Chain A
Amino acid sequence: QKEVEQNSGPLSVPEGAIASLNCTYSDRGSQSFFWYRQYSGKSPELIMSIYSNGDKEDGRFTAQLNKASQYVSLLIRDSQPSDSATYLCAVSSGGSYIPTFGRGTSLIVHP
Chain B
Amino acid sequence: EPEVTQTPSHQVTQMGQEVILRCVPISNHLYFYWYRQILGQKVEFLVSFYNNEISEKSEIFDDQFSVERPDGSNFTLKIRSTKLEDSAMYFCATTWDRRINEKLFFGSGTQLSVL
Contact = CB atoms under 8 A, between A and B. Distances in A.
Interface of A: 32, 34, 42-46, 49, 88, 90, 92, 96-104
B48 A98 contact: yes
A98 B45 contact: yes
Given A42-B108, A88-B43, A99 B102 contact: yes
B108 A43 contact: yes
A96 B47 CA distance: 12
A97 B106 contact: no
Contacts of B104: 44, 46, 99
A97 B44 contact: no
State the 9 A-B residue pairs at the shortest beta-carbon distance, nearest first: A43-B106, A101-B43, A97-B98, A103-B42, A46-B103, A101-B42, A43-B109, A44-B106, A32-B102
A84 to B, nearest CB: 17
Interface residues of B, number: 19
A101 B102 contact: no
B56 A98 contact: yes
B102 A49 contact: yes
Contacts of B41: 103
A97 B43 contact: no
B31 to A, nearest CB: 8
Contact of B106 (A34, A45, A103): A45
A39 to B, nearest CB: 11
A78 B41 CA distance: 28
